[in-house]
Amino acid sequence: MIQNDAHDYTINRIGGTGKGSKNGQGLYQESSTPKFAIGAKLELGDNRVFRYSYASAAITVGKVVSTDSAQLIVADVNGVFVAAAAGSTEISVTDATLSSVALNHYAGGYFGNITNGEQYRIKSNTAASSNLVKFTLYDGIATAVAATDDYMLYGGPYNGVITATVGSGAYDRVVGVNPIAVTSGYYFWLQTAGIAFALNDAADAVVLGDPLMLSDSTAGTVQIKDAGVDTPVIGQAVGAAAVSKHVPFMLNIGG
pLDDT tens per residue, range 9-18: 455 554 444 4
| Co-location of 81 and 165 in the same domain | no
Average pLDDT over residues 184-190: 97
pLDDT tens per residue, range 114-143: 888 999 999 999 999 998 999 999 999 999
Using the predicted structure, report yes or no on whether residue 239 has a pLDDT greater than 80. yes
C-alpha distances in angstroms, 241 versus 49, 70, 206, 215, 227?
23, 33, 5, 15, 20
The mean pLDDT of the chain is: 87
Q: 234 with 215: CB under 8 angstroms? A: no
| Co-location of 164 and 210 in the same domain | yes
Cα–Cα dist 93/216, whole Å: 39
Number of domains in the chain: 2
* Domain, as residue range, for 220: 2-68+160-252
Please identify, among 107, 132, 154, the residue that sits at the C-terminal boundary of a domain.
154
| Co-location of 150 and 192 in the same domain | no
Using the predicted structure, report yes or no on whether residue 75 has a pLDDT greater than 80. no
Q: Among 57-61, 100-104, 184-188, which stretch is predicted with the lowest mean pLDDT?
A: 100-104
Please identify, among 135, 154, 173, the residue that sits at the C-terminal boundary of a domain.
154
Cα–Cα dist 68/66, whole Å: 6
In this structure, the number of other CB atoms found within 10 A of the CB of residue 219 comes to 17
Helices (H), the chain: 69-72
In one-letter notation, the amino acid at residue 120 is Y
| Co-location of 132 and 216 in the same domain | no
Cα–Cα dist 121/126, whole Å: 15
Using the predicted structure, report yes or no on whether residue 190 has a pLDDT greater than 60. yes
Task: Supply the pLDDT for residue 249.
Answer: 98
Please identify, among 154, 171, 200, the residue that sits at the C-terminal boundary of a domain.
154
| Co-location of 111 and 143 in the same domain | yes
Using the predicted structure, report yes or no on whether residue 4 has a pLDDT greater than 50. no
| Co-location of 172 and 137 in the same domain | no
Cα–Cα dist 252/235, whole Å: 5
Q: Is 96 in a helix, a strand, or coil? A: helix
Task: Supply the pLDDT for residue 231.
Answer: 81
| Co-location of 166 and 59 in the same domain | yes
| Co-location of 23 and 93 in the same domain | no
| Co-location of 172 and 135 in the same domain | no
Query: Beta strands 49-55 and 150-154: pairing type?
Result: unpaired
Cα–Cα dist 24/218, whole Å: 34
Spell out where the chain has E strands.
2-4, 9-13, 41-44, 49-55, 64-67, 77-78, 90-94, 110-113, 119-125, 132-137, 150-154, 159-163, 174-177, 187-199, 211-214, 222-224, 233-237, 246-252
pLDDT tens per residue, range 77-86: 776 888 899 9
| Co-location of 98 and 145 in the same domain | yes
| Co-location of 17 and 58 in the same domain | yes
CATH assignment of the domain containing 96: 2.60.40
Average pLDDT over residues 70-89: 82
Q: Among 38-42, 93-97, 205-209, which stretch is predicted with the lowest mean pLDDT?
A: 93-97
| Co-location of 246 and 141 in the same domain | no
For 122, counting Cβ atoms within 10 Å of its Cβ (0-12 exposed, 13-18 middle, 19+ buried), the class is buried
